[in-house]
Amino acid sequence: MIVVRTVEELKSQISLWKKEGNSVGFVPTMGYLHEGHISLVERSKKQTDKTVLSLFVNPTQFNDPEDYLKYPVNIDGDLEKCKTASVDLVFLPSKEVMYPKTESTITMTQSLLQTNLCGRTRPGHFEGVMLVVSKFFHLVEPNFAFFGLKDYQQFRIIEEMVSLLNFPLQVIGVETLREPDGLAMSSRNVRLSEKERETAKLIPRMYSLAEKLLKDGEKNLSNFKEILRDFLLTGQDVKIDYLETVDPGNLQEKLALEGKILLAVAVFVGKTRLIDNRIFTLPIS
């Protein structure tokens, strides 16, 4: 496994691989890797000749400076996981490598896809995501890039960005990997206390409740969302950031329980913010 920290080292290796006719898969991460990240690597290994993984906690996508400072970091552990997963190259840049000109930057937005969900409650977040991902795409020059569908809005925004800016690559969404109790795997889960971890189980249980309501013929959207909100709020120290039903394509709010619906949620359990989503195709038989 190759580990590089500079743009020059990265581009030199990518250039060599491309000259040899290898396809390149890219898995961008902020580190503190778990099995969800490794599933992206495994997908890339199946689909491409060489897999590049980046470890970089991107400061421009944090609208809360405290959240950035508290983001878990374990470089040695991450590199060991990458080695075990047979990652071909790990790009481990510093903040100065990724943002050498701190006095000047570029802002990108997508007015439609950022209207709801995290785009509404975390102003500036996706501008930072698009900035760093576009920089990575220019540096790595991948043929395929792999993103987990737990961050469904991020996946759609990156997919649309690639289309709008004519990046010569394909964005692949990979299904969310879950803990045995159904909680979506996340680097943030490590922040939960034992009691909070138990409370977080309400999220996957909420999706089971949603499925039951829809199977039982619930037609009233407002009533549907109110029942789900009340269920989540039975947990101690739970605060709902958002619970929305949107179209999976354009992420605009659905006005009725019909067709395809993305039920997306962001919940604070204590001070830890967790997100999840599920797509339902109605009617459910």
At residue 107, the pLDDT reads: 87
At residue 285, the pLDDT reads: 75
CA dihedral 237, 241, 245, 246 (to 10 degrees): -150
Judge whether 134 and 63 are in contact, CB under 8 Å. no
β-pair partners for 264: 244, 277
CATH ID of 2-174, from 3.30.1490.20, 2.60.40.10, 3.40.50.620, 2.60.420.10 = 3.40.50.620
CATH second-level architecture of 187-280? Answer: 2-Layer Sandwich (3.30)
pLDDT, averaged per 10 consecutive residues of the chain (285 residues), comes to 98 98 98 96 98 97 88 96 98 96 83 95 94 97 98 98 97 97 94 96 98 96 98 96 98 96 98 97 89
Domain residue spans in the chain?
2-174, 187-280
Determine which helix (DSSP H) or strand (DSSP E) holds 267, and give its type and residue range.
Answer: strand 260-269
- For residues 84 and 80, give the distance between their C-alpha atoms in angstroms, rounded to a whole number: 6
Which residue, 73, 80, 110, is CA-closest to 95?
Answer: 73
Which residues are annotated as catalytic? Answer: 37
The two structure tokens encoding residue 154 = 């991020």
Q: Is 148 annotated as a binding residue?
A: yes
Q: Is 185 annotated as a binding residue?
A: yes
Secondary structure of residue 166 in the 3-state scheme: coil
At residue 102, the pLDDT reads: 76
The two structure tokens encoding residue 131 = 């900035």
At residue 63, the pLDDT reads: 84
Q: Is 108 annotated as a binding residue?
A: no
Q: Is 255 annotated as a binding residue?
A: no
Q: Is 36 annotated as a binding residue?
A: yes
At residue 128, the pLDDT reads: 94
Q: Is 33 annotated as a binding residue?
A: yes
At residue 66, the pLDDT reads: 86
Q: Is 34 annotated as a binding residue?
A: yes
Q: Is 96 annotated as a binding residue?
A: no
Secondary structure of residue 185 in the 3-state scheme: coil
Q: Got the DSSP string for 10-34?
A: HHHHHHHHHHTT--EEEEEE-SS--
